[in-house]
Amino acid sequence: MNTQQQSFITKFALISFLLVSAAIATAQTRYVQHEKINKGDTQLSPYFSITLSGGNWYSPLMLKVYHHDNGDKQLIGLSKFSEYASRQNGYAISDDGKTILYFHQNLPDDGGVNKPGGLYEYKHGRGAKRVHSFVSNAAYLSVPLPRNIIVYSQLEKIKDSMRLDSKYYLRDTDGNEKLWVNP
């Protein structure tokens, strides 16, 4: 192989690598922009808002969920949150804005929420109820979900084994729930 052929192969490999890298970066950026929760306060509806704060060396990143009623703002849930997590790992809100699904972790400093951890549903005018107790918001899906759907993982014992398996579930604000099966 002569020098000219080697140079052509090297340039072709470099250009191919750059094109593939650009396509991957574009896809990842589109996904993050679609699903990312920004730091600070976000009003989701007249009835609910969230605050994403912390994330420095002395304070973990926390997602706080608030209910608004007649001018009162009440903290109803908080959970540790990853800077890489998406909206579907934090909350789901109904189209009319009157129902929210969210996670709450029973942490030492829970801001006065004082309830057990789990996945909760809060309906404006009716209050909160815990839907599931031992779940995690650390489930990762590579596809964006509609705003009324949340994803969670649940540990389940494998039959006739001492091992556990983590399965991902989707739940919408209408109460429909199903096991996530990767397409």
Q: Which pLDDT tens digits describe the chain residue by residue (183 residues)?
A: 666 666 656 655 555 544 544 555 444 443 333 468 889 999 999 999 999 998 887 788 999 999 999 889 999 999 988 888 889 999 999 999 999 999 998 877 767 788 898 999 999 999 999 999 888 888 888 788 899 999 998 877 777 777 767 789 999 999 999 998 876
Two tokens, residue 126: 């009716």
Determine the residue type at 17. F
Which candidate, 166, 112, 173, 179, places its Cα nearest to that of 139? Answer: 166
Which candidate, 178, 169, 35, 181, places its Cα nearest to that of 103? Answer: 169
The C-alpha atoms of residue 104 and residue 167 are separated, in whole angstroms, by: 19
Please say whether the beta carbons of 94 and 173 come within 8 A: yes
Which candidate, 113, 166, 175, 159, places its Cα nearest to that of 135? Answer: 166
Other beta carbons less than 10 A from residue 106's beta carbon: 13
Other beta carbons less than 10 A from residue 121's beta carbon: 21
Which candidate, 89, 36, 83, 91, places its Cα nearest to that of 67? Answer: 91
